[in-house]
Structure 1
Amino acid sequence: MIGTRIEGLVDAMTLEEQVSLLSGRDFWSLPAIERLGIGSLRVTDGPNGARGGGSLIGGVRSAAFPVGIALGATWDPDLVSEIGAALADEAKAKGAHVLLAPTVNLHRTQTNGRNFECYSEDPVLSAELAVGYIEGLQGQGIAATVKHFVGNESEIQRTTISSEIHERTLRELYLVPFEAAVKRAGAWAVMTSYNRLGGTYTSEHPWLLTEVLRGDWGFDGVVMSDWFGSHSTAPTMLAGLDLEMPGPARDRGHRLVAAVEAGEVAAKVVRERALNVLRLMARTGALDDHRPREERAEDRPEHRALIRRAGAEGMVLLASDGTLPLREPASVAVIGPNAKVAQIMGGGSAQLNAHYRVSPWDGLAAALGKERLTHAHGCDNAKFQPVLPGPLRMEIFANRALSGEPVAVEEMPEAQGFWFGTLNGGASASDFSARITGRFTAPRSGTWTVGLRAAGLARVRIDGREVAEAWESWTRGTTFFEEGNDEVLGEAVLEADRTYEIEILFATRPSESLGFSALAVGLGLPSGDAEIDEAVEAARRAEVAVVCVGRDASWDTEGADLPGIALPGRQAELIEAVAAANPRTVVVLQTGGPVEMPWLPRVAAVLQAWYPGQEAGNAIADVLLGRAEPGGRLPQTFPARMEDGATFSQDREVYPGLDGRVRYEEGVFIGYRHHDRVGTPPLFPFGHGLSYTTFAMADLAVAEDGGEVRVAVTATNTGARAGSEVVQIYVTPAPAPVPRPARELKGFAKVRLSPGESRRVEIALPARAFARFDAERREWVMEAGTYGIEVGRSAADLPLSGEWMARTARRWAP
């Protein structure tokens, strides 16, 4: 029925109308074709919420769900499917038909700024969670957009760098989640990455988009570019890119019409691309949706409960001497830079304006009462200075010279903005200037630090004196998706309770790759020894110290990789000092990936909480107090040192890249595969996570059944309270002519058991679980021979082992 209707519609269109569907009308939507009764397709950013059509800053409020790595740590596709269904509700509330999610790139390095947004270092775990997410989302009529296809495992020079990846590595690792999303979950859309693959932009890569995606996998949905990630007319059309985003058209529109008329692009190719877009519109109901976009802030109780439950399910108890769970402590010192600040999400296009934010302090205060708690900040951990609070007055000029009368005047809640499209008063976000003024009353005396970041030109004055400048000296850095300068720092001596006049001048400049302008001005008073001393004293007086440390969205963010995996600032020093004062010190980590832990032997427990969404503090309190189990298992290996990672190399082309190339020299040996290969034990292995109860696994059975290998094991809760365990199955290879990992995750199941309860867990492994990819022959190969089956609770804790014999070799096409 859909096919007949859209075939009729596409053939009733003029060439210009077909072309109009192949690029955005604006940042978030496609044009309607009123003559044929065709509505407008609308999209919104994900994956940990649905922001809507507003800016990355502010806008209509939305529910903030746990980030990708936190969902990866749940090892629970059913839970992730629930979240997908809830996100469909969120997308509908924002008037959207398409959610730009999930992100399924792998954790190649420990320092990728966007690891927080991705599920795992392992392709099988990522694939299973992606399938759950997509089925939940698309089951409610909202399209998933699987991203970023492919080779976007770093944020360094991501819009231009070429990822050099061998086809075997692609097929066995990086393509696996995308393949499952298409073949098993039936994803309706795929987004290309910014980077090049083997020298060719993925948005114009025929092998990737046509041969693999549509040919090998049978994809029939829409392939869209990442925002501003399309760079040509004919090459993208011929390669298989359906949709250039955002709009208005840059390389499509009249240029595409001219390319057809010149014979560079056949009319049938335009028809095929338009047909794909119409199919997506039919699947999502956009074909007949003529309503104006309405965005609602729906704070649903059921979503609150789901976010809180999912947050606890993803938290990983890394280490504990029995201090956790806390049993009605009389006094708790809540310490650290993340104690009273709710770190709920990473940075970049995944960020949104949450309905609310619950900090660890808030969660513990609600659970125990404030009278049992004391607080100490301890030290700072932010990458940038705290954003200057408003209200501020912004005068907008429709030129870059701050000349004439302002075309609009508006209030800013704080000194940061992110602008695209058309501003109030009709000024273009790519060609305007602004004068921003306000007042600041210093709460304390001291030498304050002024921080200035801009995707544009800017300067800051306090009482008429210039204190920071990025105008004449502006140089491109890593902020604002590599469109802004690195933060410029200045100083201002301020007196307590005195009010100062603030003036910020801003003007746009030509963008490097992405079409927007942005500004952030911060003002902070750095902490020092006195704050650490205060934390030590608070810990000494308390029964237990909970130290809330980690990173924030300025570190874990799209657009920039991390400089390393040490805790920023003086946080390690803070932990050491607090632990020396109180042996019952519990460290709550909030990061988007691993950190070095030289202080580990001196603390009582470590809980990795990730960025668990708007209910962060409540979920953290639930786990600390034993009201919920720490249900998570590591989706990424935690090395003891950054130098132990797979991509740490003296060859900069391996990482972070050199001369426009990043070479995936390690091949299939990332994460736990790398540690097994080189024999370096990790700090915490892939799959690791402790529980508040104990489990046993026994009675392993391996049997062949109809072309599958069935692995069965009995899991038993041997402890005194209910809990969950993840049964993990790894396959060791038969002899092969190429190096293969010592073991690879090929199946898993999360089981919840009452005290004393046992359950038989059975997992079927297809032939693909035993195969490698032969790039020369372009086919999958399963050698004849004996394969090992290892079962346990992490890549380094596999107490059960068996084997399966493949009596004959097999080969098959991708």
Structure 2
Amino acid sequence: MTSRIEKLVDQMTLEEQVSLLSGEDFWSLPAISRLGIGKLRVTDGPNGARGGGSLIGGVKSAAFPVGIALGATWNVGLLEEIGVALAEEVKSKGAHVSLAPTVNLHRTVSNGRNFECYSEDPILTAKLAVGYIGGLQSQRVSATIKHFVGNESEIERTTISSEIDERALRELYLVPFEHAVKDAGTWGIMSSYNRLNGTYTSENQWLLDQVLRNEWRYDGIVMSDWFGSHATAPTVNAGLDLEMPGPARDRGEKLVAAVEAGEVSRDTVRIRVLNILRLMERTGALDDRSAFEEKAEDRAEHRALIRRAGAEGAVLLKNADDILPLVAQGTIAVIGPNARTAQIMGGGSAQLNPHYRVSPWDGLAAALGVERLRYAEGALNNRFEPAVTGSMAVDYFNNATLTGEPVFSERLNGGEVMWFYPPGGKVDLTGFSARLGATFTPEHSGAHNVGVYAAGYARVLVDGVVIADASAAHWQPGRTYFEEGCDEVVGLVEMTAGRSYEVVVEFVSKPARVLGISALHVGIGRPLGDEAIADAVAVARDAETAIVFVGRNGEWDTEGSDLTSIALPGRQDELIRAVAAANPRTIVVLQTGGPIEMPWLGEVAAVLEAWYPGQEAGNAIADVLTGAAGPGGRLPQTFPIKWADHPAQSQDREVYPGLDGKVRYEEGVFIGYRHYERHGIAPLFPFGFGLGYTSFALDDLEVDASGFEADGAVTVSVTVENTGKRPGSEVVQLYISDPEASVPRPGRELKAFEKVFLGPGEKLRITLPLDARAFAFYRVEAKHWLVEPGTFVVRVAQNAADEGLTAEISRQNRLMLPV
């Protein structure tokens, strides 16, 4: 029987079919009114639904915890709840597809996008992604799991070739996508920008056709990342259904011509269109005739979920003498650059305009009363000068010389702007210039930094004098605006408090490198000196307890820019040590998108990693600090003692960060905790580690291997007991070892886990099933998975470095499994 979508595709002209294989605009596909086909709309992103606006401003949205914070929860059920909530957010923006989740692995500790991804481990990542996708798609909103595949760094990200051997691909990097297809039935996948072993993933036939569609039997769509498609026939023939964004660049008339020339068959186009129509049918877009409207729906139930998830992802790394939770009385020094600034998300395409931001100061004031709190900033952690605030007048010119009469004028709010659409419909974004003007009145006298970075050429004048110059004569490619912008250029100017200064920014667009972005950021900031640390020390000395809120922010943890260090930016290490010397009851609260070095660890009483937990950040952090909620997180990524210990560290730049257009995954399957165990490198904190406000014990390990010889199936049972005096959660982690393997295998590999919540003295018997793949490795030459005969070690533990409880099981025969 012919299906509805088959009937529709056969009624279309070739031109109509081709129109559905590329976007109409930045966020939607065209409708075909003649056939009653509605418009499919998509929206970013992983920690919320931004809608169709710019990355800056736009309709407000709920900001959920970022990927690594969700990874730290180790809670599949929670991820499913969040998926359901995010589906409601997507619908509030009039969209049908969410461009999420992000499941690339933490190959390094310095990937600028680690914050957006769940974990260094493929199984943890896969299970969480399955929960997230299940929740999202249960509400008829499609997931778009990304980035397929090998996008583990942001350096030369749109062109670099990730050189990854097939075993590492099969055992690590493909695993989350495989589970998303086979277990969650994801409806969408996004190809990555990079090449995979020399071929762009958007036109990689082995990846998109052989593996994804033939082996995994995927029936959803594959869309390009934005501007991540580079050809016509090669992408269509390889399996890329949708080129984004629109209007068409390599499709449209070019694809019609390729069909007529015999480079792409009509049958192939038909298959691609059927995939699009199937997605539209699944999401209801096919029959969606509702007026397009984006709403800012601030839901109480989403506020509560975000707050709960933020606390559950917080990882307690140290708690000497049970200093946490905080005592009921006494003054608290609230110190640091992140104390009164709510760091709720990372940067790049995942960012959005939140309904609100709760800072740690706000959260503690609400929980404890502001009268108990004392504040000092102490140090800065900004990467760029703070964006100028207030209204800016802008004149636009349809030339690159800022001459003649403006074609359009408007007022913008703040010192950062990204131009995705022609202002007023009158500006040609392929070749324009703009003059922006504002007034700046400093609060303090003294030296001020004036900074500018741009995807385009720009310079900043203060009272008619050029202070920061990134114009054409000085512009150099940098690590801003998705690698389309320059690094920040900073100049110094003396200012007097209370006096008004005229700030003028001259901007000229430039030819696109890849993405075609025009953008600008202008900021003015005042450096902090020794007196700021001295003030913090004084405040700490007079308080019963000092809490130092430090870390990074979305300027550092951002798409398009890897970190050059995992040391805390600025003078934050110095601040922590000075405060700890003044007050032995010093607690450090970290907000980062990944590991940092902690040279002061032995000098402080407690350390809490809070990540970027969304718009309820301060409330979630306060809940954990006060004991209203337990710290429910476990590390989803190993924290090394120093940067040089991490898996991709090498004297060979081709291994990392890349050289001559290649980044070679030399470490193979030994990333994350596998690397540290193999080389005998002690981490600062191991994968899976986290403390709580109670204690847990594992006992009575039982392994049922009665079916192991036949089909490789094993069932593992263990008793978990809360041996402390407070309710809390524990993550039971199951690792497998194959010490007799014929190929190098990790000393232990996570294969199953379960999070349990128990009251004081409560016990629970849990069962963890394992299939044959849990014991197998991939044989590249034979193209199958193999479980070898021999003895395997089953380990149930509380983290990757924990000896835990172990048992051995054996098998006599080889077991070959298909891909």
Q: How does 1:104-183 map to 2 (within 5 A)?
A: 104-183=103-182
TM-score, normalised relative to structure 2: 0.98
CA contact (8 A) 1:420 1:430 kept: no
1:21 equivalent to 2:26? Answer no
- Determine which of 787, 794, 803 is the counterpart of 2:799: 794
Kindly report the root-mean-square deviation, in angstroms, between the aligned alpha carbons of the 2 structures. Answer: 0.9
| 2:348 aligned partner | 348
CA positional deviation for 1:32: 0.6
Q: Which runs of 5+ in 2 are unaligned?
A: none
CA positional deviation for 1:705: 5.5
CA positional deviation for 1:426: 2.5
| 1:302 aligned partner | 301
Percent identity among equivalent residues?
65
| 1:259 aligned partner | 258
CA positional deviation for 1:381: 0.6
| 2:440 aligned partner | 440
CA positional deviation for 1:526: 0.6
1:675 equivalent to 2:680? Answer no
Provide the rounded CA distance (Å) in 2 between the counterparts of 1:418 and 1:305.
32
CA positional deviation for 1:459: 1.1
Provide the rounded CA distance (Å) in 1 between the counterparts of 2:291 and 2:419.
22
Query: Which deviates further from its counterpart, 309-318 or 436-445?
Result: 436-445
CA contact (8 A) 1:550 1:568 kept: yes
Match of 1:144, SS state, is coil
Match of 1:560, SS state, is coil
Q: Which amino acid aligns with 2:88?
A: D
| 1:554 aligned partner | 555
Provide the rounded CA distance (Å) in 2 between the counterparts of 1:662 and 1:408.
45
Q: Which amino acid aligns with 1:519?
A: L
Q: Which amino acid aligns with 1:415?
A: G
CA positional deviation for 1:403: 2.8
Deviations 1:339-375 (A, max 9, x none): 0000000000000000000010010011111111011
Extract structure 1 runs of 4+ deviating beyond 4 A: none
| 1:586 aligned partner | 587
| 1:631 aligned partner | 632
CA contact (8 A) 1:27 1:421 kept: no
CA contact (8 A) 1:429 1:516 kept: no
CA contact (8 A) 2:41 2:97 kept: yes
CA positional deviation for 1:505: 1.1
Provide the rounded CA distance (Å) in 2 between the counterparts of 1:259 and 1:426.
34
| 1:52 aligned partner | 51
Q: How does 1:262-661 map to 2 (within 5 A)?
A: 262-321=261-320, 322-471=322-471, 472-661=473-662
Provide the rounded CA distance (Å) in 2 between the counterparts of 1:324 and 1:736.
45
CA positional deviation for 1:805: 1.5
Deviations 1:611-651 (A, max 9, x none): 00000000000000001000000000000011111111000
Provide the rounded CA distance (Å) in 1 between the counterparts of 2:368 and 2:196.
53
Provide the rounded CA distance (Å) in 2 between the counterparts of 1:606 and 1:503.
44
Provide the rounded CA distance (Å) in 2 between the counterparts of 1:351 and 1:430.
25
CA contact (8 A) 1:434 1:507 kept: yes
CA positional deviation for 1:401: 2.4
CA positional deviation for 1:396: 2.0
Query: Which deviates further from its counterpart, 325-334 or 220-229?
Result: 325-334
CA positional deviation for 1:412: 1.3
| 1:766 aligned partner | 771
CA 277–705 in structure 1, closer or farther in 2 if over 3 Å, else same: farther
Provide the rounded CA distance (Å) in 1 between the counterparts of 2:419 and 2:219.
34
Deviations 1:520-576 (A, max 9, x none): 001000101000000000000000000000000000000000011111110000000
Deviations 1:377-398 (A, max 9, x none): 0001111100011211112223
Deviations 1:33-62 (A, max 9, x none): 111010110000010000000000000000
Deviations 1:481-505 (A, max 9, x none): 0000010011111001000111111
CA positional deviation for 1:606: 0.1
Match of 1:187, SS state, is coil
Q: Which amino acid aligns with 1:678?
A: H
Provide the rounded CA distance (Å) in 2 between the counterparts of 1:157 and 1:594.
23
Match of 2:256, SS state, is helix
| 1:732 aligned partner | 737
| 1:744 aligned partner | 749
Match of 2:268, SS state, is helix
Provide the rounded CA distance (Å) in 2 between the counterparts of 1:421 and 1:738.
54
Query: How many residues were matched structurally?
Result: 813
CA positional deviation for 1:200: 0.3
Query: Which deviates further from its counterpart, 284-293 or 167-176?
Result: 284-293
Provide the rounded CA distance (Å) in 1 between the counterparts of 2:739 and 2:266.
51
Query: Which deviates further from its counterpart, 469-478 or 179-188?
Result: 469-478
| 1:753 aligned partner | 758
CA positional deviation for 1:734: 4.6
| 2:207 aligned partner | 208
Provide the rounded CA distance (Å) in 2 between the counterparts of 1:114 and 1:705.
44
Match of 2:793, SS state, is strand
Match of 2:651, SS state, is coil
CA contact (8 A) 1:731 1:769 kept: yes
| 2:691 aligned partner | 690
CA positional deviation for 1:428: 3.1
Match of 2:361, SS state, is helix
CA contact (8 A) 1:56 1:352 kept: yes
Query: Which deviates further from its counterpart, 403-412 or 535-544?
Result: 403-412
Deviations 1:80-139 (A, max 9, x none): 100000000000000000000000000000000000000000000000000000000000
Match of 2:47, SS state, is coil
Provide the rounded CA distance (Å) in 1 between the counterparts of 2:80 and 2:140.
14
Match of 2:143, SS state, is strand
CA positional deviation for 1:289: 1.2
Provide the rounded CA distance (Å) in 1 between the counterparts of 2:706 and 2:347.
47
CA contact (8 A) 1:734 1:783 kept: no
Match of 2:339, SS state, is coil
Provide the rounded CA distance (Å) in 2 between the counterparts of 1:31 and 1:799.
56
Q: Which amino acid aligns with 1:603?
A: V
Q: Which amino acid aligns with 2:429?
A: A
CA contact (8 A) 1:149 1:190 kept: yes
| 1:723 aligned partner | 728
Q: Which amino acid aligns with 1:344?
A: I
Provide the rounded CA distance (Å) in 2 between the counterparts of 1:435 and 1:220.
50
CA positional deviation for 1:399: 2.7
CA positional deviation for 1:466: 1.0
Q: Which runs of 5+ in 1 are unaligned?
A: none
Match of 1:71, SS state, is helix
Provide the rounded CA distance (Å) in 1 between the counterparts of 2:803 and 2:717.
14
CA contact (8 A) 2:739 2:747 kept: no
Match of 1:481, SS state, is coil
CA positional deviation for 1:326: 0.4
Deviations 1:461-498 (A, max 9, x none): 11111111111211111111000001001111100100
